[in-house]
Amino acid sequence: MRFRLLILRVVCVTALGLCGCTNAPGRPGPGKVPIVPGEISDFGVLYAQNCSGCHGSEGKGGAAIALANPVYLAVADDAVLHRATASGIPGTSMPAFAQSAGGMLTTKQVDVIVNGIRERWSKPDIFSGADPPPYSSSVPGDSARGSEVYATYCSSCHGAAGRGGQKASSIVDGSFLALVSDQELRTIVIAGRPELGAPDWRSDVPGKPMSSQDVSDVVAWLASQRPKFPGQPFQTTAKAMGEIQ
């Protein structure tokens, strides 16, 4: 009995020795061990996994605004990028990514993303003397004046009353306005959407840049048309709520 056990042990040990522990079948080699999500520290991987679905694979061409827009990056500072990435933008589809806000990313990973966006896509001398309106303004907009600002700066492309024209689509559509924040409207008016051919604040009317107040007012005018009861499709919901006949 003892002798048999001994032989069994010898056979087992030899078998293990032949296979070599690290190369045992099914056991992943060192290169194949998946990295724990919280340990990923490469900007390309973090951006591709978390942002590209909405902001586009190279920072543009997605449904949400391009982050690879040097005008945007010159107007929005790191605090803006950090806040949006970590805490999301309530009331919109921009999610919160920081673990502290219920997301999956560590504080370090949020920093990697913010620094990566800045390093990869900003151009330090983009303005060469031009003075853009500030990212945000505490002065409230005047929507009545905004309607005039709209006629001057926007109607040539977006058509009378914003309902769409030859060169650009409607920007007063209820479903669009229901999903976009006032800040995002301001961001788009200042930084444009160059990947789609939407001009920045100085190119709507060449030689006549918009002032910060112009931007605030046109945003107030757009925001005043946001439906009270957003739904999909907007018309049907509005009818059901007695908003339109």
Q: Which residues bind ligand HEC (CB under 6 A)?
A: 50-51, 53-55, 64-65, 67, 76, 80-81, 84-85, 89, 92-95, 97, 113, 153-154, 156-158, 167-169, 171, 180-181, 183-185, 187-189, 193, 196-199, 204, 218
Q: Which is nearer to ligand HEC, 62 or 231 (CB)?
A: 62
Pairwise CA distance, residues 245 & 236, whole Å: 10
Q: Are 149 and 217 in contact (CB under 8 A)?
A: yes
CB of 33 to ligand HEC, least distance (A): 25
CB of 107 to ligand HEC, least distance (A): 13
Q: Which is nearer to ligand HEC, 76 or 238 (CB)?
A: 76
| CA 122 to the chain's CA centroid | 15
Query: Among residues 149, 179, 181, which one has the least CA distance to residue 162?
Result: 149
Cβ burial, residue 162 (10 Å; 0-12/13-18/19+): buried
The residues, any chain, with a CB within 8 Å of residue 22's CB and separated by 6 or more, are 29
Q: Are 131 and 64 in contact (CB under 8 A)?
A: no
Region of 2 on the Ramachandran plot (φ > 0 left; ψ -120 to 50 alpha; else beta):
alpha
CB of 127 to ligand HEC, least distance (A): 17
Q: Which is nearer to ligand HEC, 77 or 241 (CB)?
A: 77
Determine the residue type at 3: F
CB of 143 to ligand HEC, least distance (A): 12
Pairwise CA distance, residues 196 & 176, whole Å: 16
Q: Which is nearer to ligand HEC, 118 or 243 (CB)?
A: 118
Q: Which is nearer to ligand HEC, 181 or 240 (CB)?
A: 181
Q: Which is nearer to ligand HEC, 95 or 231 (CB)?
A: 95
Pairwise CA distance, residues 118 & 69, whole Å: 10
CB of 29 to ligand HEC, least distance (A): 31
